[in-house]
Amino acid sequence: MTKYINDVVSLTDRLMLKNRVVLAPITLSVCQPGGYVSEDDISFYKRRACSVGLVITGSAYIHPQGQAFANSYSVAEDDKIQGLSSLAKTIQEQGAKAILQLYHGGRMVPPHLIEGLPVAPSAVKGNHGSVIVPRPLKSLEVDDLLKQFLDAIRRAEAAGFDGVELHGANTYLIQQFFSPHSNIRQDKWGGSFNNRLRFPKTLLKRAKQLVKLEFNRPFVIGYRFSPEEIEETGITLWDSLQLIEQLIQQGVDYLHISSSDVWRSSLRDQEAKSPIIKQIISKIKGRVPLIASGNIHTIQDVEKILSADIPLFSVGKALLLDPDWTQKIAEDHEETIIRKYQDRLQEQIELPIDFVNSLRSYLEEDA
C-alpha cells in the first residue's frame, strides 16, 4: 500500500494523528523565569501545530537539579500546570496531539544553572559541554528520581497533554543510567548490563502502571533513545536493540530515535555502511510505532522514509524555518519552502526573537 504524508495514522489504538509529521522536540529557552510557559512559547506552537499530527514539546525538567538549559520548561512543581495547560490546549486546538517531553540532565547540567553539584549515576564527567564531575546518586535518591518522574507525568496529565515522552537520549540522565560510560555503579542500578537496564525499565513500568491505575483517559508513554554513544565504553547498537526489546515488553507506546540523519550508519563501526535504522526497524517488527528523525527537508526525503515502512518522522529545522512545510511538501510546492531565516520573514514564521538571536548563524544557513 502506498503511503502519503497526510495519511491518518494511529499512534495507539485510541489515539489517531491527522498526518505522519511530528514536530521534533525543540528547546527554545524563552520561558519566563522559573520555567513558566511564556507567550513566545504559545505563539511558536500555535503557528506550527496546524501542520503536524503530533507535537513533542521541548524538554521539561522534572526537578530543578535536572535543568540543562536556561529558561526552559519546568514540570517540577504544581504551579507549572496552568501554563502547561495553556500550551497543551493551544496545540490541540490546531488539530495536533500534544506530548510533553520529560527529562533530567544529570551530569550534563551546567553547574551555573543549579544549586550544588550536578548528580548522575556515577562520578564520571561527560565528554562534552560545560560540565564538571557530578556527584553520584545514593540508592534512595534514585528511588526519589523515579518518584519525581511519576509526579511530572501526573502534572502533564493534569495539564491536559495526550502523553509524555521519556527523554532517554542525548546523554541525559535516563541514558546515563543505561550507558557503561556513565554508569559504573556496583548496586542494583548499575554495573552489569541488566542492572544498567533497570532504571529505564523500572521508570517505564511504573509510568504505565500509573496511567492504568490513576488516569481515566488514554495517555501515551513514549521513549526517545540514542542508538549509540561515540565513547569507547559507551552504548553500542547491540545494547540499544536489547533496550528496545525490553521497552516493547514493558508496553511502551512508541519509540523515537534521536539521530542527526535518518540514514546514517554506525558512529562506532566505521566499516559498517548500512543505515542503523534498518536494524532498528527489523528489531521493532512493527510492534510499536517508530518515529524517525534527522535531516528531513525535501519530498525525496519524505518518500524515502515512507517507502521504508517507517510510520512517523519528526522534523526540526524545516518546521522552524517554515511552519507551512508539511502543506508545501504534500501539495508539491517544494520550491516555495523557506530554507533560511531572514528578519523580514519574522511576522510570517513567528520565531521567538531571543531564540533567533541565540542561533542566528544556524538559522541563516540553507536547510
Can you read off the three cell numbers belonging to residue 250? 514493558
Query: Which residues, other chains included, contact 276 with Cβ-Cβ below 8 Å and sequence gap of 6+?
Result: 227, 228, 237, 264, 265, 266
**Do 110 and 129 meet the contact criterion of CB atoms below 8 Å apart?**
yes
Residue 122, all three cell numbers:
556515577
- Residue 195's CB is within 10 A of a number of other CB atoms, namely 16
Separation between Cα atoms, residue 46 and residue 168, nearest integer Å: 27
Residue 136, C-alpha cell as written in the block: 553520584
Provide the annotated active-site residues: 172
Measure the CA–CA gap between 199 and 288, rounded to whole angstroms. Answer: 21
- Ramachandran angles phi, psi of 342, nearest 5°: -140, 140
Buried b (16+ CB within 10 A) or exposed e, 326-351: bbbbbeeeeeebbeebeeeeeeebeb
